[in-house]
């Protein structure tokens, strides 16, 4: 059992976006795609928070996880939805 990591330590180790604000992650995401708009990023982030809430009861933790995914791929949640891997109504509403 000593080798099993807590969810918090897993989240902290995978924290790609560090202490970046959503605005800073958006700036990074928009460097991937010159046409990437803040409104699209906000929809992705809100969808991501809804998706990640299935893993935690803490909205801030869900937000950090979502930001980490968006840091690496600004369309992460849209791609999940298109693959049929998102079923959270709140997330789907944000991606339309």
* Cβ–Cβ < 8 Å for 48, 70: yes
- Tokens of residue 80, six digits: 């999940």
For the chain, give the percent of residues with pLDDT over 90. 36
- Give the C-alpha distances (Å, rounded to integers) separating 52 from 3, 29, 36, 91: 24, 19, 22, 10
- pLDDT tens track for 28-51: 776 666 556 788 888 999 999 999
Count Cβ atoms below 10 Å from residue 55 Cβ, excluding itself: 13
Contacts of 20 (CB under 8 A, 6+ apart): 28, 67, 71
Whether the predicted pLDDT of 10 surpasses 50: no
């Amino acid at each position: 059992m000593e080798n099993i990591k807590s969810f918090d330590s897993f989240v902290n180790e995978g924290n790609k976006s560090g202490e970046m604000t959503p605005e800073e992650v958006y700036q990074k995401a928009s460097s991937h795609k010159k046409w990437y708009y803040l409104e699209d990023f906000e929809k992705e982030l809100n969808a991501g928070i809804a998706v990640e809430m299935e893993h935690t009861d803490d909205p801030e933790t869900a937000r950090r996880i979502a930001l980490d995914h968006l840091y690496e791929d600004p369309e992460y949640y849209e791609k999940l939805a298109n693959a049929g891997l998102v079923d959270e109504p709140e997330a789907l509403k944000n991606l339309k």
